[in-house]
Every structure is written in C-alpha cells, then in structure tokens.
Structure 1
C-alpha cells in the first residue's frame, strides 16, 4: 500500500514536470507564427492572454468543484491535453483552430495542478508535506526553465513543425501515469478517501482571515517575482548595464535554478521550524536582496538577483503548504488559488509595472516600485493566525498515512 502511494506521488510529480515543460513553448513559437501567418501583435498576444487567463481562472474553480463533489479529471488526461494542445498547434494555419488548441492546453494545465497537488498532499506523511510539496513544485520549475531552450533548439535546427514531435513525451507520460493510477487499487483508494468535513467552528476560524491573507501575500510575491523575471532582461540589456543577449539569458537561467533550490529549502525547513516562522523569515530576507538589484553593480547586483530569487521561491512553497493546511477540506481549491489565481494576479502586476515605466520614462524606477509589496509582505505575514505544527499534526492524526 505504501509503495503504491509513493508511485502515485511520483506520477503526480512527473506529470507536473511534463505539464510545465510545454507551457513556456508558446512565447518561443510566437515570433515564427507572426512571420509565417502574418499575425498582428494583438492576435499573437491574445493567444498568450487566452492561455494565461484560462489557466489562472479555471484552477481555483476546478479545485473547488473537486472539493465539493470529490470528482476530478484524471491527471493523465490533463497531461495529454497540455502536451497535445501546444505541440499540435504548430501544424495548422487556421488561427481559430490554433487558438482552440492553445486554450485546450491551458485547460489541461489548469485541471492538472489542483488535482495532482491534492494527491500529493493527501498521500504525503504529515511531517513531510512541506518537502513533498517542494519536490512537486520544483519538478515544474525545472521543466519550465528548460522548456524554452528545448523549443528554441527544435525550431532552429528542424523548423517550426518539429515542435509537433514533442507531443511524444506527453503521450508516453500520460500512459505511464494511467498505468500507475490503474494499479492504485480500490483498497488503497478507500484508505486515502477524503476525510469527514471539519466542524463549522473550524471552518469559520481558518477560512476568511488567515487563508485570505495567505492568498494576498502569494499575490504580492507573484507580482514582484513575475515582474523581475519579465523585465530583468530589458533592464540588463537596455539600461546602463549594456549586457548582450547570451549573458542576460545565462543570468536569468541561473536565477530560475537558484529559485528551485529555494523551493526545496523552503519546504524542508518549514517542516522542521514551522510554516509561519519560515514564511516571515523568507519574506524578510528577500527585502535587502531586492534592493541590491537596483542599488549596486557587479557581483553585488548578481548576488541580489540570485538570492532574491532564492527567498521569493522559498516563500512560495511554504505559503502553498500553509494554505492547504488552513483549508484541509478544500485542498484542491487552496492549491488552485495559490498555484493559479495568484500567479495570474502577478501577471497583471507585471503589466502595471510596464505601464508605470512608460509613464515615468524609466524602467529601473518603475521596477523599484515593487519594493512596496516586497517590504509589506513580511509585516503582513506576522499577522497570520496559524496553528503550530504540533496542533496541525494532532488535528490530522486521523487522516490515513
């Protein structure tokens, strides 16, 4: 039984790697589509908007539906949708069909995250939820980092249509996940069935204020982190730093991988020292490194970029696990909010920074405005009413392990 449970956790982690591998393909193939199909920038950008909006908004809805009904789309179908939608979109010259395929991929992405993360949460030992959540999110972060490189190499050497061949890993992964689900027999499924609803008193205490504050903090973190990722290349290349494309790409890649290390550290340390303690620590540690990005040069600036990424991602896994433990009977909804909606809000925040840069006439000054949500986060985190780990373990002691 334990072996089958671990296999299901690993299949969710592997599925996350595949789903997030395909999601960054779209920005790489768009320039070629603009040329080949003579698309306007609006139509090209609308595809990205459709993907992001669909993915961000459907995730919490899908999670809430699963929590209320116990029904969810099998994650192998989600992996198949995500891989096929993006990979096969390059084979058509019909814009509406392409938009439908991209939206289908976004739907697969959105349905996958709350379903897979709920499985990881339910099947993980209580004392190791943080580290398993960090492994889950890390698998997606790694594939998201290498996805653009894979797509770029394929297009450069084999042409745009070669992207269609990348559907094969998705198909193989879906078959593997299906086989794992099939072996996860009725006995194991019954052992890990959803526990009985918590009392009304607990729901009232742990829903509106603490969970809402965690979602707000996740959104603030996403705003600054997405904003840094979005505009850092332009800051380094077009500003006073004058870096070339290769150097800038290398810096961003290193930044993303150091963020992966932060996710692992955040999950592990939050298991040992408490979620709230590590959340406050991570948010507070990010503030000085954020300032270094804009107030220093050379290695100090690089240190600021890399260590800001580390602590921003450190907070990410911790906040996701906190949200799940605050809403133990709505894990799918909690996961959909933190993995989907908050990231979508972050994208909106990045657009606001771009608007501010246009009006201020200075990208660095506009980006530095993100010091406000960065500095506000550790202060607000202090006010989260969150039980200590011993109390949570006692509350969840009747859950199957």
Structure 2
C-alpha cells in the first residue's frame, strides 16, 4: 500500500482534525467568559480559579481514564456525542444564573473534551497506515492548536457585538462536523478490544500499559515539555508588562507563539514518520532549548525576538503528535489510553509545573523563573534518550474498514 494517503483516508483524517479544532475551540471559552460571569454571578478570584481548575481536571487529567474505558469497550459511536456535548454546555455557560449551574455546565463541557481526545486519537491510528500515522496525528494536533488559538478572538468579538446569548450560534459548526463524521462512518470504525489485540500483534514484545517503563518515561518527559508550553504563554504577558511593554505587544506575541505552535505540530508528526519518533522528539528539544533561552534573554519586541518566539513555539509543539504516536506504539493494545496520557494527563501535569514557575516568580521575578523553567526541557531531553523506539511490523500497515 502506498505510503501516501488516498483521498478517502485524507478525508477521514481531515474530519478528525476538524473535530479537534472545535473540541479545543470550545475548550478555550473560559478565559473570555470569566470577566463576564465573575461580574454577573459575583465570583471571587478564588472561585474563578476553582472553576478553571475543575475544567482542567475533568477535560485533561481524566483523559487516560476515558481512554482506558474506550480501550476496554470500544464505544466508537461516542465520536458523535463528544463535540455536541462540549459545544452545547460551554456555549450555555455564559447564560448560567447561579454558581452551581455554571460549574455544572463547565464540568459537562469538560467531560466531552475528556472523551473526545483519546477516542479521536485512537480512531486516527486505525484509519491510516503505520507509515503515515505521524503525519495524520500532525493534522489532528494542528486542528486543535488552531481552534484553541482563535477561540478567544471569536468569542470576544461575539460578546462585544451581541452579548452572551450570541454564543449559542457557535454550537452549530460543531454539529456540522459531527454530522459529517456520521456520514463518513467514523462511528463504525472497529476499536473494540478484539481489534486492539489484533493491533497489539504489531509488536509481540509490547508490555501491558502498567508495566511499560517506556510509557511512564515518555509521559514524564512530555509533562516536562508541557511545563514550558504552558508556562511561557501564561506568564509572558506578565513579564512583558513588568518590562513596560504595552498589552498590544503581549497579545501579538501570544498570537505568534500559538500559531507557530500549530505549524510546528503540523511539521513534527511528518518528521517523526521520516526519521523516527525518538529522533524527532529529541531533535526538537535539542533545538528548542537554546532558541527559547535566547528569546527569554531579551524580551524587547524586535524582528529577532518574534522570530525566536515563533521558532520556540513551533519546536515545543512539534513533539506533540510524535509523542502521541510513540505512546500508541509502546502500548498498541491501549491506544486510547496512551493518547489520553499524552494529550491530557501530560498537559495537566505541565500546568502543575507552570504553577511552580509562578511560585518561583514571586521570589525571583517572572523573567528569572521562566529562565529556570528551561531546565524542565533539559530533563525531558535526558529522559527521552532512555525511552525505547518500538520496531515497526508489516501487519501494522492494515487499515480497518469502516
């Protein structure tokens, strides 16, 4: 079978990428909604932080649990439920008339995201050949990154133009993608335990997930990588404000970082297909560390600083699709759970690391704290060398019929 994707496969990959766009689009509603619901419902900063934390735990940290259930039961049909659930409940959150209702709506929206990511990533691994898994996962991650990046601008525009009730219209694009997924038959892809065991034959030496030292190391390495991915956009505006830069500079730099990250994700999986998952992951980190260091050394806006920031974002995020496919290859019988670890748990743990950066910033200043946080990338790089790269077998070239 050709290593290039045929039209049917590319269509399915594009649908899953579009689904990821909307899943992450809905996931990034809270930053724009918070100022409104804080005033409307009288939320304190502490309560607002608890709301964000609750959404993060449900949508990210629970992903491995969702993936474990999917690996055991299949449930491919949930692909038709997850995006509508996220869309409906998060778009209604702005209309909540009590704190309890707000937390309930946000929690249900997070639940949709926690199921979508491991399920869609598992489906992605079943509708493409082994030689194109990384490229397909790049498209998937790229879609999510772009959706996450554009959400605040779209939401703020609607809120300023027509108020919170207008957000309901944003439900319909997600429903359209779900309808297209139904027509394409993605809900019929066989991800049952029997199919997973068939896939596990790809590597006869594969260990159960709970015994896989490589999976644990990869999860820790990816969490350390996510530390910087979360900390940099979170605290960069604070650092720029402290340096006397106007908000417009912070906004433009955040946009550059997020969009370049999306482009890096699109490139990273393809590179992993060409040179191997391990080499792609290690190579990106080796380049990312000095580039990010040089950017943090001088935050004044210039063509050089914007270029360094763009490279940093691209290199940081280029490892994301590679890590997902790498994890799936390490435990092919638990592909959904592996995906949940890479897409959810690692990112959630990266948020814990970002909290450490914030605590350091209170003591030594945020610029110094971001510089010290670069050690997380160094530790991720060291761990990556110890992670095995599974051998590919011919049986992995099979594509399940829909």
Shift of the 136–205 alpha-carbon distance from structure 1 to 2, 3 Å rule, reads closer
| Partner residue in 1 for 2:279 | 277
| Partner residue in 2 for 1:263 | 265
**1:128 corresponds to 2:132:** yes
Aligned residue among 368, 382, 385 for 1:382: 385
Shift of the 393–243 alpha-carbon distance from structure 1 to 2, 3 Å rule, reads farther
Relative to the length of structure 1, the TM-score reads 0.91
CA distance in 1, matches of 2:72, 2:195: 14
5+ residue gaps, structure 2, are 1-5
The CA deviation string for residues 69-128 of structure 1, in whole angstroms up to 9 with x for no partner, is 323551121000000111011122121111111100000000001111111111111111
Secondary structure of the structure 1 residue equivalent to 2:226: helix
| Partner residue in 2 for 1:177 | 181
| Partner residue in 1 for 2:356 | 352
Shift of the 77–352 alpha-carbon distance from structure 1 to 2, 3 Å rule, reads same
CA distance in 1, matches of 2:363, 2:188: 60
Alpha carbons 2:128, 2:399 under 8 Å: kept: no
| Partner residue in 1 for 2:295 | 293
Secondary structure of the structure 1 residue equivalent to 2:185: helix
Aligned residue among 352, 375, 378 for 1:372: 375
Aligned residue among 36, 41, 55 for 2:40: 36
Alpha carbons 1:64, 1:330 under 8 Å: kept: yes
Shift of the 228–61 alpha-carbon distance from structure 1 to 2, 3 Å rule, reads same
CA distance in 2, matches of 1:279, 1:46: 34
Shift of the 200–265 alpha-carbon distance from structure 1 to 2, 3 Å rule, reads closer
Relative to the length of structure 2, the TM-score reads 0.91
5+ residue gaps, structure 1, are none
CA distance in 1, matches of 2:397, 2:37: 54
Alpha carbons 1:286, 1:312 under 8 Å: kept: yes
Instruction: Give the Å deviation of 1:135.
Output: 0.1
Q: Bigger shift: 321-330 or 38-47?
A: 38-47
**1:314 corresponds to 2:318:** yes
